[in-house]
Amino acid sequence: MGNSVTPEVEVLSKMIRQYFSQEQSEEKTIQALNHLRCVLHEISPFAQEPVDCVLWVKADEIVANDYNPNVMAPSEKKLLKQSLEKDGFTQPIVVSEETSHYLVVDGFHRQ
């Protein structure tokens, strides 16, 4: 993978770390992280790939879709809950941005 970067990139990295080490609300942190991710996405050689720009969205802004065909057995739901509690989110919930909310496209049960 290689860790050699230019001194300019190291300076940028240090500035970003310093900015995020300051005390600020979770909302401000999320906004700043998402903004930086969008800026990096604009210049990314993988900008055409949908997974190039993963953004954090608050759970209360996400709405379940009403066309989910999947039914989950109680035992599977219990295992998923345990997995999320132990490992956190290892796969993102995929959403589409609507006017006033985000609509779940994939990952309904991880919500």
Confirm if 49 and 61 have CB atoms less than 8 A apart: no
- Residue 37 pLDDT exceeds 80: yes
Q: How far apart are CA 106 and CA 93, in angstroms?
A: 6
Confirm if 60 and 22 have CB atoms less than 8 A apart: no
pLDDT tens profile 94-108? 888 888 888 888 765
pLDDT tens profile 43-64? 999 999 878 988 888 888 888 8
pTM listed for this prediction = 0.69
pLDDT tens profile 76-87? 778 777 877 887
Residue 101's alpha-carbon distances to 45, 56, 63, in angstroms, are: 29, 13, 7
The pLDDT > 70 percentage for the chain reads: 86
